[in-house]
Amino acid sequence: MSSDLSTLFLRHVCQTSDGPMGIVVARAAASTVWDAEGRAYLDLLAGMGVANVGHAHPEVLAAIREQSERHLHVMVYGELVQATQVRLAARLAQLLPAPLSVVYFTSSGAEAIDGALKTARKHTGRTRFVAFEGSFHGDTWGALSIGGNPVYRRPFEPLLPDVAFLPFDDEAALDLVDERVAAVVVEPVQAEGGVRIPRPGFLAALRRRCDETGALLVLDEVVTAFGRTGRLFAQQHWSVVPDILVLAKALGGGLPLGAFVGAPDVMATLRHDPPLAHVTTFGGHPLSCAAGLAALDVLLRDDLPGRAARLGASLVQGLGALTGRGGLAEVRGLGLLLGLEFDTPEHCATFARRAFEARLILNWTLHRDTVVRLAPPLVLTDDEAERAVAAIAGALP
């Protein structure tokens, strides 16, 4: 049966690489994925940062079941009052700093980025965007236009015009943000760019420059939010509040959900001149919002951001002791977002292959072929963390 599924997968599901992992998934729970043959894999990617509270958390599943018995999709987003949408929006507003209080739900992070770009242009009346080299914001037309790797932009050009790319974590380059700029879009930590953590003053300097020029600051926390970096939102590490915050991945508790959040005056630009200036059919789906509410409750009640901070520091220490082996040059991280930097792409690929053979789910980052990213569920146990370090050590030739 699993071989039949694999054949159909390769034949009929559009492939985006020549070497998919190809695990035939039977089930998943907490930090483990089982294949059709009953083999267990330790998931150190959490579905690319989605399963922060673990796979199939029982409270999330219960919330999905309860909502499914009330109603599924009933109307495009923003027309009818749907309880789970309203409650999740209000909960986010309660947790975020002022003036971030109005939420626009989408189906994905890339869609949320596109909505943020449209909002910034319409609100400011300006056309230019600034992004950063090495950044990744998604693969829709707008999100790709501000992606910092030309290898992925080039085949699809021409993209959005009037986009400038600055070096990440370079305060001296911020003078290029001027009065022509509608918005600057930045990740607090570049995840796909190789888990690049900025120096302490960079984001604050960027915030000041946006204030000086009237440009909006759009913070892409698709990967870093909901405890991933050891704080509920990564912006808290630097005490920087954006004009628009972009969320997704862990927001939906395992179901598709994204959002962009802003101040009332910024978000009001989508309701006039013309009305319905930005619409979506499935954004804020009631099942996804129910799952997101339940996941957020678990995250806060169990202090998973605090666990991510403690366990991440321990993993950086344990994995850091392995540097020098198998081409491993550096281990860095913030919370449970870790990067293993290798001295060559070949060493990185060899390690990733050997780790997969040891039944670890991980891979190198999209935009840095010398870095393996770890982003396990925040419910990873101490025993599983020790097993991960031992397996990683064994995968370093």
Q: Is residue 284 part of a domain?
A: yes
Q: Is residue 18 part of a domain?
A: no
Q: Retrieve residue 221's tokens.
A: 């926390």
Q: What is the CATH number of the domain that holds 110?
A: 3.40.640.10
Q: Retrieve residue 137's tokens.
A: 């914001």
pLDDT block averages, 10 residues each, the chain of length 397: 82 85 93 96 96 98 98 90 97 98 97 98 98 97 96 94 97 98 98 96 98 98 98 98 98 98 97 91 96 98 98 98 97 98 96 96 86 97 98 95
DSSP secondary structure of 14-57: PPSSS------EEEEEBTEEEETTS-EEEESSHHHHT-TT-BT-
The CA-CA-CA angle for residues 165, 166, 167, to 5°, reads 130
Which position has the token pair 């309701």? 271
Return d(Cα 254, Cα 239) in angstroms, integer: 28
Q: Is residue 124 part of a domain?
A: yes
Q: Is residue 75 part of a domain?
A: yes
| Residues 163-174 pLDDT 10s | 999 999 999 999
Query: Residue 1's pLDDT is what?
Result: 58
Q: Is residue 364 part of a domain?
A: no
Is the CB of residue 54 less than 8 Å from the CB of residue 31?
Answer: yes
Looking at the structure of the chain, the number of domains it has is 1
Residue type, 233: F
Query: Residue 352's pLDDT is what?
Result: 95
Element holding 332 (H helix, E strand): strand 328-334
Q: Is residue 159 part of a domain?
A: yes
Query: Residue 368's pLDDT is what?
Result: 87
Q: Is residue 374 part of a domain?
A: no
DSSP secondary structure of 163-229: EEEE-TT-GGGGGG--TTEEEEEE-SSBTTTTSBPPPTTHHHHHHHHHHHHTPEEEEE-TTTTTTTT
Residue 230 belongs to what domain range?
Answer: 59-301
Residue type, 170: D
Q: Is residue 76 part of a domain?
A: yes
